[in-house]
Structure 1
């Protein structure tokens, strides 16, 4: 199996014509199966509005491409005729999602049906390595993940990389990632070049946007149409779901909530401004207050896994360490204050907190929810609650993998290696 990516910019309209209509119908069928797991051909015809004969022809092509599989018989009602059921398959088609952050690289590889093939997080000093070193490390990690996926029987159709910063998604350029010290980095192009013989299409997007998509599709508040997701890393970003759609903004740069100025007299942020929200609630701020001897940026100290830092703080909190307890209470109050600004602006039903926020939710949430309830103008009518993500530090890489899956579903005909019979639109 190989995959030929569509010859068009992400998000642009596909060309018109019979082939495009057939491709759109194939995609429509796959999306129904992704959303409903198991359906009969008759079910698909009813939900899509396509003629049953059209669905049968489309299904024949999808079966030949091994993108769906038959899973038995379903009965329509107690005495209805039996219907052959089908489900999303694609065990031979892989999707590789990655995230690079200040102190780690995360990997999440799946097949088309969502079976997890590889998942890991490795320590990486992105700032110390610089852009060139980080691209080389990303390529090395990607190569290892691709080999693991191939051993599991799936060939990746593409790679998507989540980055904590402003991303020009169409060009695959990281416009600004202040915590990584990256500026105008053509990451997609550079990574594609270093990957060389793998010849995989590379997409790049903002980490919080991808994590928000993962939360909306498979997280603790899945399906909530008005949702805000907050990353809990060294930096803080936000992904905003409004009416079931990701809010990108006019230029694709929405969600930079970590740079809301909440304290004009506060510490300098990596973006160059003072008093940004992430200087109050980011992991670097918490570590500096809770265990200053482990603070980020100290000379001569290796960069530990963020999970280790958070685990140490959790142990201290469980033991009643007064310095850590005070630090977490303060972060929780600032978390609630910033969350109230988002609640007043977007009126979400849920604010999902991820990353280290979720790991320490037991101690953070009471302080944060109190502040949120106090500061939301429309409370209690707004009914906004803070909940902890269950996806951990892997939310962005999971969302990145789902973006590759969406690319395949958008154009199933790009799967090469079979010779499907021509099918009417």
Structure 2
């Protein structure tokens, strides 16, 4: 597409010209202005025009629409040496626009919400025994959590622009269907459709994603290794998932199933995994293994009447360690060995600079990392291992729900028209005559 908004044909074909889809160009330019203000701060309309390559008339029209959608605001006049009457500056707002992320996992449901600027609006987790519940019951609880979160946001004057749900399994993101989530016992569960029929989203789009992938995105954007272009994130849950950032992009694979590292076989003589196979990596390093070794009377799957959040289980393990229970150090050391061995395979395959340990791995990092690093150096290829290290995440068990909310924010930034024009706002103006795609920024 040319800068004037027309299309040209490729080499060897007659050159045809025609008007580009003005709605598409309009959306692109709205996104350009919105991202520019988010990244560079308050700007006058003239400055936005100069810095983006759009003409000032187009910027004025775009700003009017973004104001009507509640995505930007006008701030105090900018002088900056300008001659004549100063104009009001434009700045990112979005304080009334919320992004909601949720996670359903083996023993909890988490919710995390931000506004467009990244201000945290909600961050909570409730205990829930999804492992021993039918998918229908779990989705009922998830729907209840969504309704609760939407109501809490409404009290803050925030309208939800989108919802993303994180699930530990293989996800068909185009349909919102969980193909398989072994630790939840879900097979072919149409999460997106069920939530839509449950009327919890109030016409808000609902998407579904893999928990490890969403957590990896959160780490890449706001975690301890933020901006590291090559990293691996490990969930540290009952099941072990991996999110892989390669060259600054999430590695999805042909079907979006990349990162199922927990089901890499590591011990042919090992235990049976929830997926039905023998000796998967998560049977050696998952939280369920540690709990079984340290507190066998409270192991997962024992149908204990008390539903325990992972933080509660970890607190009990740490109390036993402080009390001198020898099983604790022995179990953590054993997990650390297998963590390092499995990580060596990931380093040999993907050559990351950092392996970010999430979930319970992060909580026990002081004891796990030295053991895991030793095994990593023993089993990995020398060159790549020397430049790779473990780090503990500081996002806790909310990394996936945080990443899920981030997906919604990104969707709004890419297409601001997904946010409705406020009823109190003036109707958005028609696209400026001759509006075209921006020239490349100078």
Q: Same fold (TM over 0.5)?
A: yes
Pair 1:44–1:275, CA change in 2 (3 A): farther
Pair 1:222–1:51, CA change in 2 (3 A): farther
Judge conservation of contact 1:373–1:380 (CA < 8 Å) in 2.
no
Pair 1:371–1:68, CA change in 2 (3 A): same
Which of residues 285, 289, 296 is equivalent to 1:292?
A: 296
Any stretches of 5+ residues in structure 2 without a counterpart?
1-19, 436-442
Distance in 1, matches of 2:400 and 2:118, equals: 15
CA-CA distance at 1:71 after TM superposition: 4.4
Q: Which residue of 2 aligns with 1:5?
A: none
CA-CA distance at 1:41 after TM superposition: 4.8
* TM-score, L = length of structure 1: 0.90
CA-CA distance at 1:219 after TM superposition: 0.8
RMSD, aligned α-carbons? 2.2
Which of residues 8, 26, 29 is equivalent to 1:25?
A: 29
- Once the two structures are superposed, the pairs formed by residues 384-403 of structure 1 within 5 Å of their partners are 384-403=388-407
- Once the two structures are superposed, the pairs formed by residues 191-210 of structure 1 within 5 Å of their partners are 191-195=195-199, 198-210=202-214
- Once the two structures are superposed, the pairs formed by residues 127-146 of structure 1 within 5 Å of their partners are 127-146=131-150
Q: Which residue of 1 aligns with 2:5?
A: none
Pair 1:380–1:300, CA change in 2 (3 A): closer
**1:72-130 per-position Cα deviation (integer Å, ceiling 9, x unaligned):** 56787xx7989965432111111111000011000012222222222210011112221
Judge conservation of contact 1:228–1:239 (CA < 8 Å) in 2.
yes
Pair 1:83–1:217, CA change in 2 (3 A): farther
Q: Which residue of 2 aligns with 1:227?
A: 231
**1:279-311 per-position Cα deviation (integer Å, ceiling 9, x unaligned):** 111100111112212211114443311110012
Further displaced range: 272-281 or 32-41: 32-41
Q: In structure 2, the residue corresponding to 1:138 is in which secondary structure?
A: helix
Matched, 1:324 2:328: yes
Which of residues 79, 90, 93 is equivalent to 1:89?
A: 93
Q: Which residue of 2 aligns with 1:61?
A: 65
Pair 1:197–1:237, CA change in 2 (3 A): closer
Distance in 1, matches of 2:25 and 2:111, equals: 35
Any stretches of 5+ residues in structure 1 without a counterpart?
1-15
Q: Which residue of 2 aligns with 1:182?
A: 186
Q: In structure 2, the residue corresponding to 1:58 is in which secondary structure?
A: helix
Q: Which residue of 1 aligns with 2:12?
A: none
Q: In structure 2, the residue corresponding to 1:357 is in which secondary structure?
A: helix
Matched, 1:422 2:430: yes
Q: Which residue of 2 aligns with 1:165?
A: 169
Matched, 1:263 2:267: yes
- Once the two structures are superposed, the pairs formed by residues 367-378 of structure 1 within 5 Å of their partners are 367-378=371-382
CA-CA distance at 1:55 after TM superposition: 3.3
Distance in 2, matches of 1:52 and 1:223, equals: 33
Pair 1:266–1:24, CA change in 2 (3 A): same
Q: Which residue of 2 aligns with 1:278?
A: 282
CA-CA distance at 1:322 after TM superposition: 1.5
Further displaced range: 18-27 or 169-178: 18-27
Matched, 1:104 2:112: no
Q: Which residue of 2 aligns with 1:349?
A: 353
> How many correspondences in the alignment?
408
Distance in 2, matches of 1:295 and 1:168, equals: 31
* TM-score, L = length of structure 2: 0.87
Q: Which residue of 1 aligns with 2:125?
A: 121
Q: Which residue of 1 aligns with 2:313?
A: 309
CA-CA distance at 1:44 after TM superposition: 4.5
Q: Which residue of 2 aligns with 1:254?
A: 258
